[in-house]
Structure 1
Amino acid sequence: MTSPAPSPTANGSAPGADAALRPHAEQAYAAELAALAAEDDRPRPPGWRLSPWAVTRYLLGGTLGDGTEITPKYVGARRVVEVAVATLVTDRALLLLGVPGTAKTWLSEHLAAAVSGDSTLLVQGTAGTAEEAIRYGWNYARLLAEGPSAQALVPSPIFTAMAEGRLARVEELTRMPSDVQDALITVLSEKTLPVPELGIEVQAQRGFNLIATANDRDRGVNDLSSALRRRFNTVVLPVPQSMEDEVEIVSSRVEQLGRSLQLPEVPAGLTEIQRVVTVFRELRAGVTADGRTKVKSPSGTLSTAEAISVVTGGIALAAHFGDGVLRPADIAAGIRGAVVQDPVSDGVVWREYLETVVRGREGWSDFYRACREVAN
């Protein structure tokens, strides 16, 4: 059974949140959620902590009437967020679809935190996910000793969300086996979860809904059945449209991760962040930013999430093994590791990109040398 969330402390965060390596969204942004709730005078759907308007403000950021700054959680088209939030008001589940690294999990977590105040009712989809993760399981010691009983039943996160009228999350839905995916059909269509062993059923309470994430780029994907897909409203999350948007996303997330990991402060390194984003965008698109030179694309996705990882790793190197300033040498190995997933084919792509694009680019000579040193 899912354990209850810790009670908030006087400063608005949950006990242990400051010490957690990665606090849940409702812990990390407790003060923002509380300020939004205090100012929010718009209608709230049954079971919601905030109105749809306030949920959207929480995700997109802004300044409240009392001066509280709400940090943006999602950088992108406002309409995408509005459609996602509006879907959760209806009886249709929400499917966030996109290539890896388009903030599907991030958006899912923050939606659950803002709507239900709890983002922890989570099922992680893998090839080994069993149907019990969707429905319920049993405490077999009690089952053998007492027989089927409510005390022996172990509810899934979805079971708990239905009973308590909260949002449940399913990550990587298409990685689950097809028969496990289809266990959701009754939940989403009838809003009930039968427990035939006890002769009962759990009826979803007001406020219940489900957010799933999926992508169709990775290997090991199991396509959704048409019956299940009809139960979802699909919102496609695009890759950041502009260079500026992607740089903003990477910069803000790197700053947040740095605080969470308590990395020593390193100057912003905006130049190196722009370089990482430029390399990733050009290799993804197969053409340089000016449109003059075509380049080969590697086998990986080169997502925004990977760019964040490269820069965060670079900051750790600069802080602990460098002079405290983020330099090309700090990010060169990380970029190569992200690009070269296949040592043979991707290695050729990376070397050609360095020689045809990076080598002659003005102001990039230090970056070129650092990358060449790593490659040798």
Structure 2
Amino acid sequence: MTDAATDPTLLRPHAEQQYAHELAALARLDDRPRPPSWQLSPWAVVTYLLGGELSDGTVVTPKYVGPRRLMEVAVATLATDRALLLLGVPGTAKTWVSEHLSAAISGTSTRLVQGTAGTSEDAVRYGWNYARLLAEGPSADALVPSPIMTAMRDGAIARIEELTRIPADVQDALITILSEKTLPVAELGIEVQANKGFNVIATANDRDRGVNELSSALRRRFNTVVLPLPASEEDEVAIVTRRVEQLGSALELPALPTAADEIRRVVTVFRELRQGVTTDGRTKLKSPSGTLSTAEAISVVTGGLALSAHFGDGILRSADIAAGILGSVVKDPVADRVVWSEYLEAVVRERPEWADFYRACREITG
């Protein structure tokens, strides 16, 4: 059987599969105190996230580029009885950080509840095998544990994605779990008590205020860490470059060493429109309705790589990224199109070195 960590047929291995060698090296060399049931010490978890070189020469690649203190606070929270809420605008690596935290602490990132408007209480607490329930009545064998119940039994981390997308009454099912560390099963007259090491990492989009806001009772059970957008252009270029290389390898796209200039151009466009001012600070700009996140920049460049590889000459050019940028910027077909047209004429057109990009954008914009 092929090892999942090296299986070339997997489109996206889990963090614990893709970085198994780094996690193994950290575990082998980690001599610091570990909280109960943790695979690594808090120091080693932060090293796994931020990267570094180990004493045996193993290079740990950075998974998160940002303030070290934020990751230290997040990891320290999970070593207590408080749950962790990762909050931020779309594209600030909340899910990415959640996955890698869970992989480093518990050895698996798959105890996951995906929050949507249709998420039911069963996904948070437990459900039933209805065939067995009808045949045998309520029993332990008919019980279908949720990922959270499984994590409680295993003393591990459970993940909840998009917590504020979950209906308020389902959210409230978490209160007893997080405060009492127990999950009653009323039908069987029993309860599942959490073993040491259990905790919850939830993510929420702060653009979702007013969707299903957290009650004050539930919010008190979380320590909130706000993940910011990359502080500098260089940080954002580095993040986009690294993720595009990883995605390109998974998608078997040809290596394109000439992509650096276009990556920087995409990042510059996104940052200027996001911040409402040009890089030199001379021109004020209108911002579009969308977020223009780092994740969207990664998507634009990856799409451009696919175009250049399959329909171009193998060199990433302005024409390959123009349509992707237009799709990211123009979410509102009226207001955002005005913002984009003004940016093209006031900024892009005035940069001689961007002449090819201006022509490509004008051609695709119409």
Indicate conservation of the 8 Å contact 2:42/2:76, yes or no. Answer: yes
Unaligned runs of 5+ in 1: 1-6
Of 110, 116, 121 in structure 1, the residue corresponding to residue 100 of structure 2 is 110
Counterpart residue number, 1:4: none
CA 68–245 in structure 1, closer or farther in 2 if over 3 Å, else same: same
Match of 1:206 in 2: 196
Match of 1:324 among 304, 314, 329: 314
For the residues of structure 2 that align with 1:215 and 1:345, how far apart are their CA atoms? Answer: 23
| 1:77 aligned onto 2:67 | yes
Q: In structure 2, how many angstroms separate the alpha carbons of the residues matched to 1:268 and 1:104? A: 30
Question: In structure 1, how many angstroms separate the alpha carbons of the residues matched to 2:6 and 2:281?
Answer: 50
Cross-structure match for 1:265: 255
1:95-244, aligned counterparts within 5 Å?
95-218=85-208, 221-244=211-234
Amino acid at match of 1:236: V
SS in 1 for 2:103: helix
Tell me, yes or no, if the aligned pair for 1:329 and 1:370 is still in contact at 8 Å. Answer: yes
Q: CA deviation at 1:265?
A: 1.5
Tell whether the 8 Å contact from 2:164 to 2:208 is kept in structure 1 after alignment.
no
Query: Could you state the TM-score of these two structures normalised by the residue count of structure 1?
Result: 0.95
> For 1:42 and 1:136, how far apart are their aligned partners in 2?
36
Please tell me whether the aligned partners of residues 267 and 324 of structure 1 are also in contact (alpha carbons under 8 angstroms): no
Partner of 1:60: 50
**1:34 maps to which of 3, 7, 24:** 24
- Tell me how far apart the structure 1 counterparts of residues 218 and 76 of structure 2 sit (CA, whole Å): 20
Structure 2 CA distance for partners of 1:151 and 1:111, relative to 1, 3 Å: same
Q: Residues 19-39 of structure 1: CA distance to partner in whole angstroms, max 9, x if unpaired?
A: 211100000000110011111
Pairing partner for 1:25 from 15, 29, 43:
15
Cα RMSD (Å): 1.2
CA spacing shift, 1:271–1:158, aligned 2, 3 Å: same
Letter of the 2:44 counterpart: A
Aligned-pair distance for 1:218?
Answer: 3.8
Residues 306-317 of structure 1 mapped to structure 2, 5 A cutoff? 306-317=296-307
Q: CA deviation at 1:14?
A: 2.7
Please say if 1:369 is aligned against 2:363.
Answer: no
Number of the residue aligned with 2:271: 281
Matched, 1:248 2:238: yes
- Determine the C-alpha separation between the residues in 2 that align with 1:221 and 1:65: 48
> In 1, distance between residues paired with 2:118 and 2:197?
30
**Amino acid aligned to 2:324:** G
1:217 alignment partner, SS class: helix
CA distance in 1 between partners of 2:95 and 2:5 (Å)? 24
Which residue identity is paired with 2:205?
N
Q: Is the 1:174–1:224 contact (alpha carbons within 8 Å) kept by the matching residues of 2?
A: yes
Q: Which amino acid aligns with 1:115?
A: I
- Opposite residue 245 of structure 1, the aligned amino acid is D
Q: Which residue of structure 1 aligns with residue 38 of structure 2?
A: 48
Residues 266, 318 of structure 1: 8 Å contact kept? no
Instruction: Provide the rounded CA distance (Å) in 2 between the counterparts of 1:309 and 1:359.
Output: 25
**CA distance in structure 2 between the partners assigned to 1:364 and 1:48 by the alignment:** 51
Q: Is the 8 A contact 2:270 2:292 kept in 1?
A: yes
Aligned counterparts of 2:124 and 2:52: Cα–Cα separation in 1 = 37
1:16: how far off? 7.0
Q: C-alpha deviations, 1:208-260, integer Å up to 9, x for none?
A: 00000001214772110000000000000001110011001000000011111
Contact between 2:84 and 2:202, CA under 8 Å: does it hold in 1?
A: yes
What is the aligned partner in structure 2 of residue 3 from structure 1? none
For 1:193 and 1:186, locate their aligned partners in 2 and report how far apart those are by CA, in whole Å.
7
2:288 corresponds, among 285, 293, 298, to 298
Show structure 1 runs of 4+ deviating over 6 A.
none
Where structure 2 has 5 or more consecutive residues not aligned to the other structure, the ranges are none
Once the two structures are TM-superposed, the CA of residue 290 in structure 1 deviates from its matched residue by: 0.9
Query: How many positions carry a matched residue from both structures?
Result: 366
Match of 1:348 among 335, 338, 341: 338
Query: What is the CA distance between 1:283 and its match in structure 2?
Result: 0.6
Q: Which amino acid aligns with 1:210?
A: V
Scaled by the length of structure 2, the TM-score of the pair is 0.98
Distance (Å, rounded) in 1 between the aligned partners of 2:127 and 2:258: 49
Within the candidate set 345, 349, 353, 1:359 is matched to 349
